[in-house]
């Protein structure tokens, strides 16, 4: 079972390959059962041949994003021009993010996270904002993954063998907000680790592999992001566990059939010898 948090300096930096020094409780097993959409003819379908293998389309909608205030950006004077393709306009001096652009980006990011989890990859949640520390930690624990919720320690990825005594790095990093220093994002790029990130109107979306245009300040929006990623990761793990269980059962069945065949053959030979 995965360790949830460990640090060299701070108790919020996770280390994938060792037990936690802080003694955090292990995440519960995924509660979501594998749905019919992931099971075809009694076997788990090939996820790469299906556009919506984890059912993320039913998890999100423009109305849901609107109610969570995902559309609210920052004041127009603080915007990053590279966010222009994702902006609908402005109102009362505040940029409005185009939710018709946000929705497909969010769904794509959720699918990416699901596929990484399905293949037993390591996912790291990152947020340096203290007001969302518990929320992000809970989401990571609920989905059985890792988190960094304090200031990023330089070299965590690029010098992981020295700082964390491991060379095993995350397979995906989820930035619930773009850190001001951008050190973590730069290290992820240097280590060829793909990233998912919520980019507000004052962010540079080009720094993130799979950007999600949206509000990164409002608690309702952050709660929505966290719940969606936690849900899709749990679904992916439940699917993987179902597949592994079915493969074990099929292997035991084949082994049992082989043993029975050998017994029947020996009995037949014995019968012939007796005659």
Would you say 143 and 154 are in contact if contact means Cβ atoms under 8 Å apart? no
Whether 5 has a pLDDT exceeding 90, the answer reads no
Query: Could you list the residue range(s) of the whole structural domain that residue 194 is in?
Result: 49-243
For residue 145, the model assigns a pLDDT of 96
Asked if residue 31 is part of any domain, the answer here is no
For residue 179, the model assigns a pLDDT of 84
Whether 258 has a pLDDT exceeding 80, the answer reads no
- Write the CATH number for 132: 3.40.50.10490
Asked if residue 234 is part of any domain, the answer here is yes
Asked if residue 19 is part of any domain, the answer here is no
Look up residue 76 and give its DSSP letter: G
For residue 194, the model assigns a pLDDT of 96
Asked if residue 93 is part of any domain, the answer here is yes
Q: What element of type H or E holds 88?
A: strand 87-91
Asked if residue 140 is part of any domain, the answer here is yes
Asked if residue 164 is part of any domain, the answer here is yes
- What is the pLDDT confidence band of residue 252, given thresholds at 50, 70 and 90? confident
For residue 161, the model assigns a pLDDT of 87
Look up residue 46 and give its DSSP letter: -
Whether 71 has a pLDDT exceeding 60, the answer reads yes
Tokens of 49: 């041949």
Share of the chain above pLDDT 70, in %: 73
Those residues with Cβ within 8 angstroms of residue 72's Cβ, 6 or more apart along the chain or in another chain: 94, 96, 97, 215, 217, 218
pLDDT: is 167 or 241 the higher one?
A: 241
- What is the pLDDT confidence band of residue 268, given thresholds at 50, 70 and 90? low
List the alpha helices (DSSP H) in the chain. Answer: 62-67, 99-118, 133-142, 160-163, 183-190, 219-274
Closest-CA residue to 152 (of 123, 124, 183, 176): 183
Rounded distance between C-alpha atoms, residue 101 and residue 13, angstroms: 33
Please compute the mean of the pLDDT values over residues 114-122 and round it to a whole number. Answer: 95
Q: Tokens 């001001």 sit at which residue?
A: 180
Q: Kindly report the number of other CB atoms within 10 A of residue 166's CB atom.
A: 13
CA 73, 77, 79 angle in degrees (round to 5)?
A: 50
Distances (CA, A) of 201 to 59, 84, 122, 219, 253: 24, 8, 29, 17, 56
pLDDT tens figures, 163-219: 888 888 999 999 998 888 899 999 999 999 999 999 999 999 999 999 999 999 999
Whether 82 has a pLDDT exceeding 50, the answer reads yes
Please compute the mean of the pLDDT values over residues 81-95 and round it to a whole number. Answer: 95
Most confident range, picked from 23-37, 155-169, 184-198: 184-198
pTM reported for the whole predicted model: 0.76
Would you say 128 and 152 are in contact if contact means Cβ atoms under 8 Å apart? yes
pLDDT mean across residues, the chain: 81
Most confident range, picked from 4-8, 33-37, 191-195: 191-195
Those residues with Cβ within 8 angstroms of residue 108's Cβ, 6 or more apart along the chain or in another chain: 210
For residue 251, the model assigns a pLDDT of 76
Would you say 142 and 247 are in contact if contact means Cβ atoms under 8 Å apart? no
For residue 132, the model assigns a pLDDT of 95
Which pairing describes strands 43-44 and 39-40: parallel, antiparallel, or unpaired?
Answer: antiparallel
106: left (phi over 0), alpha (psi -120 to 50) or beta: alpha
Please compute the mean of the pLDDT values over residues 21-49 and round it to a whole number. Answer: 39
Rounded distance between C-alpha atoms, residue 124 and residue 38, angstroms: 25
Asked if residue 170 is part of any domain, the answer here is yes
Those residues with Cβ within 8 angstroms of residue 2's Cβ, 6 or more apart along the chain or in another chain: 16, 26, 27, 144, 145, 146
pLDDT: is 2 or 218 the higher one?
A: 218
Rounded distance between C-alpha atoms, residue 252 and residue 270, angstroms: 27
Whether 31 has a pLDDT exceeding 90, the answer reads no
CA dihedral sign of residues 176, 178, 184, 187: positive
- Number of domains within the chain: 1
Asked if residue 266 is part of any domain, the answer here is no
């Amino acid at each position: 079972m995965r360790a949830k948090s460990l640090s060299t300096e701070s108790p919020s930096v996770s280390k994938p390959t060792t037990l936690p020094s802080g003694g955090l409780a292990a995440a519960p097993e995924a509660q979501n059962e594998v749905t019919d959409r992931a099971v075809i003819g009694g076997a788990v379908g090939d996820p790469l041949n299906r556009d919506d293998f984890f059912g993320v389309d039913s998890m999100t909608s423009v109305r849901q994003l609107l109610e969570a205030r995902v559309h609210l950006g920052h004041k127009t004077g603080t915007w990053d021009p590279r966010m222009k393709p994702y902006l609908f306009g402005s109102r009362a001096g505040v940029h409005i993010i185009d939710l018709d652009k946000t929705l497909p980006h969010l769904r794509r990011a959720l699918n990416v996270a699901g596929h990484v989890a399905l293949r037993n990859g390591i996912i790291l949640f990152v947020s340096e904002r203290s007001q969302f520390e518990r929320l992000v930690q809970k989401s990571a624990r609920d989905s059985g993954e890792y988190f960094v919720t304090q200031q990023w320690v330089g070299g965590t990825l690029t010098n992981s063998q020295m700082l964390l005594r491991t060379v095993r790095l995350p397979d995906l990093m989820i930035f619930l907000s773009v850190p001001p220093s951008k050190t973590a994002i730069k290290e992820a790029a240097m280590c060829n680790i793909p990233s998912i990130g919520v980019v507000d109107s004052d962010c540079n979306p080009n720094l993130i592999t799979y950007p999600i245009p949206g509000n990164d300040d409002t608690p309702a929006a952050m709660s929505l992001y966290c719940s969606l990623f936690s849900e899709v990761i749990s679904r992916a793990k439940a699917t993987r566990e179902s597949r592994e269980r079915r493969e074990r059962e099929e292997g035991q069945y084949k082994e049992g059939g082989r043993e029975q065949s050998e017994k029947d053959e020996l009995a037949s030979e014995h019968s012939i010898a007796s005659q």
